[in-house]
């Protein structure tokens, strides 16, 4: 009886540690957010909460993508013109 109780306790502890270490499954589908900003449509692509691409569709003109330059936060480049610099500073903040 004592061995059965120990075996039951050990299996219960093993099961609870497995449940505790189980994570949410990684989603293969990106989260897409579409919003209007003035005369352009901005589409944001996220994978597990990480913003990796932005598609900008102006009212007049060709759509273009902004993608991560080096994987850092907030540093994007245009996919069709990678040498183009995109300003990352603020002039005024209220």
Higher pLDDT, 4 or 33: 33
Confidence tier at 43 by pLDDT (50, 70, 90)? very high
Higher pLDDT, 22 or 88: 88
For residue 88, give every residue at least 6 positions away whose Cβ sits within 8 Å of its Cβ, in sequence order, or none.
74, 75
For residue 34, give every residue at least 6 positions away whose Cβ sits within 8 Å of its Cβ, in sequence order, or none.
41, 42, 43, 44
pLDDT at 41 over 90: yes
pTM over 0.85: no
Confidence tier at 24 by pLDDT (50, 70, 90)? low
In this structure, are residues 63 and 73 in contact, taking their beta carbons and an 8 Å threshold? no
* Domain boundaries of the chain, sorted by first residue: 29-82
d(CA 86, CA 89): 9
Residue-wise pLDDT for 67-79, tens only, equals 877 766 667 777 7
Q: Work out the average pLDDT over 23-38.
A: 78
Q: Which CATH number fits domain 29-82: 2.20.130.30, 2.40.50.140, 1.10.10.10, 3.40.50.150?
A: 2.20.130.30
CA distances from 79 to 21, 22, 54, 59 (A): 38, 37, 10, 19
């Amino acid at each position: 009886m004592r061995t059965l109780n120990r075996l039951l306790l050990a299996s219960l502890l093993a099961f609870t540690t497995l449940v505790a270490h189980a994570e949410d499954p990684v989603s293969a589908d990106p989260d897409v957010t579409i919003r209007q900003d003035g005369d352009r449509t901005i589409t944001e692509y996220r994978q597990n909460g990480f913003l990796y691409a932005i598609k900008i569709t102006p009212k007049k003109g060709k759509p273009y993508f902004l993608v991560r330059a080096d994987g850092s936060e907030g540093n994007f480049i245009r996919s069709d013109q990678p040498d183009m610099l995109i300003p990352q500073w603020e002039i005024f903040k209220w």
